[in-house]
């Protein structure tokens, strides 16, 4: 597995300190999709400047998006069932996930501290679909009727070339949306033996298992595809699927092990609120993990661990 390469640790540290604002989430990445943010210029811009879907022939971003982590996706057809056996021969990357430090003067709830974790990310494609495996070493927590007391994840993809890895914003100003990102946001409302995702077209909502297909333009502007006050997307494609498991689930909540989140979606969806992928192109990815042990009430919106401090994860598609 390829390891993280810190191109310039000193610079990164400065960035971490300087940009310790909300990143992949805060008010946005948790809970419901209520959008209580002000109708900012960012959302106005998004309403009138819907990006054209990128095609595989063109990379989804330019060289400005160099991050700390880059790897190649593999060619494979994966069974999305929460069993990672079909990924055994596929190489991925180690992705450090760290908690966001809420900056002074920003009116967000201060989370309870969580230790960083190293997630594993693998990506594969076949002629029709993109497949993503995210594994997180953490104890098992699943409570069927309260998803805040279960693990939750988000996988984010660049749509607009200028979008930053902090839900569309960049390190230097985390409240300034630079472009749209695609988000697969999974709160575990279904047990491990169910397949999550899907729902009515024209929406990103998964009414049964809460694996929603979303988009964001900045950390406070996040919606299900097709949702939001200003953006209309009746063509929203909604066939995202996921299966999950945990290696120690048989031992009950609190048992040490590894979460396995396996996901897939068509390479091309024709949906302006999705990233589009094709052979020879690039996927730019960021990850988030919500730990149910963060508080007695479970994970909070601002407390999640996230990868944006490493920049966009660059994945070259076969």
Which residues form the interface with Ca ion (CB under 5 A)?
79, 81, 83, 86, 138-139, 182, 213, 215, 225, 237, 271, 273-274, 291, 293
The whole-angstrom separation of Cα 138 and Cα 129 is 28
- Least distance from C-beta 224 to Ca ion, angstroms? 8
Task: Find all residues with CB under 8 Å of 305, minimum gap 6, and list them.
Answer: 97, 98, 99, 114, 116, 117, 288, 289, 290, 291
Q: Which is nearer to Ca ion, 79 or 251 (CB)?
A: 79
- Least distance from C-beta 261 to Ca ion, angstroms? 11
- Least distance from C-beta 169 to Ca ion, angstroms? 17
Closest CA to 274 of 219, 209, 307, 226: 226
Is residue 92 within 8 Å of 74, Cβ to Cβ? no
Task: Find all residues with CB under 8 Å of 226, minimum gap 6, and list them.
Answer: 202, 203, 204, 232, 233, 234, 236, 273
Beta bridge partners of 183: 156, 214
Q: Which is nearer to Ca ion, 42 or 272 (CB)?
A: 272
Q: Which is nearer to Ca ion, 176 or 235 (CB)?
A: 235
Task: Find all residues with CB under 8 Å of 49, minimum gap 6, and list them.
Answer: none
Q: Which is nearer to Ca ion, 21 or 306 (CB)?
A: 306
Q: Which is nearer to Ca ion, 171 or 233 (CB)?
A: 233
Q: Which is nearer to Ca ion, 42 or 152 (CB)?
A: 152
- Least distance from C-beta 159 to Ca ion, angstroms? 8
Closest CA to 279 of 69, 66, 59, 53: 59
Q: Which is nearer to Ca ion, 160 or 225 (CB)?
A: 225
Task: Find all residues with CB under 8 Å of 115, minimum gap 6, and list them.
Answer: none
For residue 9, what is the DSSP state?
H
- Least distance from C-beta 183 to Ca ion, angstroms? 6
Tell how strand 117-125 and strand 74-75 pair up. parallel
- Least distance from C-beta 254 to Ca ion, angstroms? 8
C-alpha atoms less than 13 angstroms from C-alpha of 194 in its C-beta half-sphere: 13
- Least distance from C-beta 243 to Ca ion, angstroms? 7
Q: Which is nearer to Ca ion, 186 or 215 (CB)?
A: 215
- Least distance from C-beta 214 to Ca ion, angstroms? 5
b/e map 265-294, b = 16+ CB within 10 Å: bbbbbebbbbbbbbeebbbbbbbbbbbbbb
Is residue 15 within 8 Å of 7, Cβ to Cβ? no
């Amino acid at each position: 597995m390829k390891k993280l390469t810190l191109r310039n640790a000193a610079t990164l540290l400065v960035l971490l300190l300087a940009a310790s604002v909300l990143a992949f989430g805060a008010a946005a990445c948790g809970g419901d999709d209520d959008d209580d943010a002000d109708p900012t210029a960012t959302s106005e811009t998004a309403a009138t400047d819907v990006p054209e879907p990128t095609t595989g022939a063109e990379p989804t971003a330019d060289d400005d998006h160099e991050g700390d982590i880059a790897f190649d996706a593999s060619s494979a057809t994966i069974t999305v069932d929460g069993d990672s056996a079909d990924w055994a021969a596929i190489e991925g990357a180690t992705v450090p996930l760290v908690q966001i430090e809420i900056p002074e003067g920003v009116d967000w709830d201060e989370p309870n501290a969580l230790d960083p974790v190293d997630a594993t990310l693998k990506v594969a494609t076949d002629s029709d679909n993109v497949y993503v495996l995210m594994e997180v070493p953490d104890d098992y927590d699943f409570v069927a009727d309260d998803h805040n007391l279960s693990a939750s994840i988000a996988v984010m993809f660049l749509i607009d070339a200028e979008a930053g890895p902090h839900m569309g914003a960049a390190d230097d100003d985390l409240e300034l949306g630079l472009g749209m990102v695609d988000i697969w946001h999974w709160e575990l409302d279904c047990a491990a033996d169910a397949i999550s995702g899907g729902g009515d077209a024209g929406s990103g909502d998964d009414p049964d298992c809460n694996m929603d297909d979303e988009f964001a333009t900045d950390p406070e502007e996040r919606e299900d595809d097709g949702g939001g006050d200003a953006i209309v997307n009746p063509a929203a494609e909604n066939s995202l699927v996921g299966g999950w498991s945990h290696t120690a689930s048989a031992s009950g909540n609190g048992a040490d092990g590894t979460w396995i989140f396996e996901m897939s979606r068509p390479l091309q969806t024709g949906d302006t609120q999705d990233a589009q992928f094709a052979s020879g192109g690039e996927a730019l990815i960021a990850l988030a993990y919500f730990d149910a042990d963060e508080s007695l009430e479970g994970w909070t919106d601002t407390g999640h661990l996230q990868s944006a401090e490493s920049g966009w994860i660059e994945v070259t598609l076969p």
